Amino acid sequence: MSKSALVFGASGVTGWSFINEILNDYPEPKIWKRVHALTNRPLSQEQSQWPSDSRLNIVSGIDLLEGSQEELENNMQKELEEAVAMFKRSTLAMDHLSPKLEFLVLQTGAKMYGCHLLEKHPTDYLHVPHKESQPRLKQPYHDMLFYHPQLDWVADYTKDKKWKWIDTRPDIIIGFVPNQNFYSLGTVMAIYLSLWREIHGPNSSAPFPGTEKSWKALSNDSSSDMIARQTLYLSLNPSKIENGGGYNVADAKEPSSWSKKWPALCSYFDLNGTGPTSDPPEMRKFIKDNIDVWKRLEKEKGLQTGHADSERTFSGFEYFLMTQFDFDRQYDMSKTYATGFSEERDTLEAWSLVFDRMRKARIIP
């Protein structure tokens, strides 16, 4: 047991699974001797739902933008500047304080392929399936994406370093979060379908809350467990990776669509998932309209409060995901699987783990 891991944003939708996989000895026992979970908001071990393990060190209250360094350039105000500063400062700290540093991972995402641009996403030089070797976004979108200055800085900084690094690129991340989160599709979906079952009953039909185009669009789910496993595998096999390279991370080699995923997800809640209608339901509106029913469920079932709707929820993001991502954006997964990683998970297997954890944590009934 010789390796230690430091996970920033450990209570987030991706960070949580990194801690969980390490404490469950992925990929095998006797690798991890310590894992440090850094969170901004306070988080107890009991609330975290991580295994009780002496190797776990939860450190809360870390604000990467606080303090001097000329008061961090007079308290940077732009998101791009803040994102680059957080990554730069944390990387410098790890490099200065850890002489045995071996590997660093920067998680970027599908924005590298312009997916966030929706109908403006470039199709003349970025094609599906998206490969890591594709060119960067061109102007004016290049300078609007903070991943680029992060990648440029770390590439330059590591030229004479012994340790290696990569960036990983998930699509929409599906995962468990122990506390309230700005946006977690898995959380919203579980609450929505639990509430739908409560109101309409088991075995009722649940129409897809999106459009006909989004129903058919191809993409690759990126569950946080598989992101963690693929990333840990890459970091533990430095001889098999391209130093400084990008790696798509997802649940399976082949893409899927909501037309296949929605019925599977609904089956977990004893519902019959059906296709889109001319007037599809909006998940956030349905939750708000029936919040009294949910609050009754919280009391009757002894659930945690505040997860269904709170000031921390980024309202409308789920509607955006279910209606605006209506184009094919599937990944080419050959680079990641060429390293020797072989595990794949189907929709129900990946999402059920998230829903199971939510039930155990008393977030859903």
Can you tell me the distance from the alpha carbon of 102 to that of 330, in angstroms, rounded to the nearest whole number?
31
Say which residue the tokens 């599937």 belong to: 330
pLDDT value at position 332?
Answer: 98
Q: In this structure, are residues 41 and 179 in contact, taking their beta carbons and an 8 Å threshold?
A: yes
Handedness of CA 238, 241, 246, 250 (dihedral sign): negative
Is the model's pLDDT at 264 over the cut of 60?
yes
Note the pLDDT of residue 314.
66
pLDDT for 71 equals 46
pLDDT of residue 82: 76
Scan for tokens 């708000």, then name that residue.
288
- Cis amide leading into 202 (omega within 30): no
The H-or-E segment that residue 206 falls in is: strand 205-207
Q: What distance, in Å, lies between the first and last C-alpha atoms of the chain? A: 39
> Within 10 A of 133 (CB to CB), how many other CB atoms are there?
9
Is the CB of residue 238 less than 8 Å from the CB of residue 106?
no
Residue 207: is it exposed, middle or buried by C-beta count within 10 angstroms (0-12/13-18/19+)? middle
Reported as a pLDDT band with limits 50, 70 and 90, residue 209 is: very high
CA distance 313 to 16: 18
Residues above pLDDT 70, as percent of the chain: 93
What pLDDT sits at residue 78?
A: 47
pLDDT the model gives residue 24 = 96
- pLDDT for 315 beyond 80: no
Distances (CA, A) of 168 to 2, 53, 227, 246: 24, 28, 8, 6
Average pLDDT over residues 258-272: 98
Mean pLDDT of 248-268: 98
> For residue 348, what are the contacts with CB-CB under 8 A and spacing of at least 6?
264, 265, 267, 268
- The per-residue pLDDT for range 58-111, each reduced to its tens digit, is 988 666 555 554 543 443 344 667 788 889 999 999 999 999 999 999 999 999
Task: Write down the pLDDT at residue 345.
Answer: 97
CATH 3.40.50.720 is the classification of domain 3-174+221-252+330-345 = yes
- Stretch (H or E) spanning 34: strand 32-39
Q: Is the pLDDT of residue 330 over 70?
A: yes
Least confident of 73-82, 141-150, 195-204: 73-82
Average pLDDT in the 127-151 region? 96
Per DSSP, the three-state class of 330 is coil
Question: How far is CA 128 from its chain centroid?
Answer: 21
**Averaged confidence pLDDT in the chain:** 91
Considering the chain, what percentage of its residues have pLDDT values greater than 90? 79
**Residue 72 has what pLDDT?**
37
The pLDDT value given to residue 73: 41
Distances in whole angstroms, Cα of residue 296 to Cα of each of 204, 301, 305, 307: 21, 8, 11, 14
Contact indicator for 202, 266 with CB cutoff of 8 Å? no
39 pLDDT above the threshold of 50: yes
Of 170-184, 228-242, 246-260, where does mean pLDDT reach its minimum?
A: 170-184
Asked, as a colleague might, if the bond just before 238 is cis with ω within 30 of 0, I would say no
Mean pLDDT, residues 205-228 = 97
CATH 3.40.50.720 intervals, the chain = 3-174+221-252+330-345
Tokens of 29: 């026992």
202: burial class by Cβ within 10 Å (0-12, 13-18, 19+)? Answer: exposed
pLDDT the model gives residue 354: 96
Structure tokens at 286: 């349905």
pLDDT greater than 70 at residue 160: yes
**The 246-248 sheet, strands edge to edge:** 103-107, 164-169, 246-248
DSSP state of 8: E
pLDDT at 64: 53
The reported pLDDT for the residue numbered 221 is: 96
Contact 320, 357 (CB under 8 A): no
Which of 62, 37, 40, 64 lies closest to 49, judged by CA? 37
Q: What is the pLDDT of residues 268-301, one digit of tens each?
A: 999 999 999 999 999 999 999 999 999 999 999 9
pTM for the predicted model, two decimal places: 0.90
Length of the chain counted residue by residue: 365
Lowest mean pLDDT among 51-60, 129-138, 267-276: 51-60
Distance in angstroms (rounded) separating the CA atoms of residues 259 and 264:
9
Cβ atoms of 196 and 286 closer than 8 Å: yes
Here the tokens at position 316 are 């409308």
Contact 270, 197 (CB under 8 A): yes
pLDDT band (50, 70, 90) for residue 2: confident
Question: Could you tell me the strand order of the sheet in which 56-60 lies?
Answer: 3-8, 32-39, 56-60
Percentages helix, strand, coil for the chain, rounded to the nearest 5? 45, 15, 45
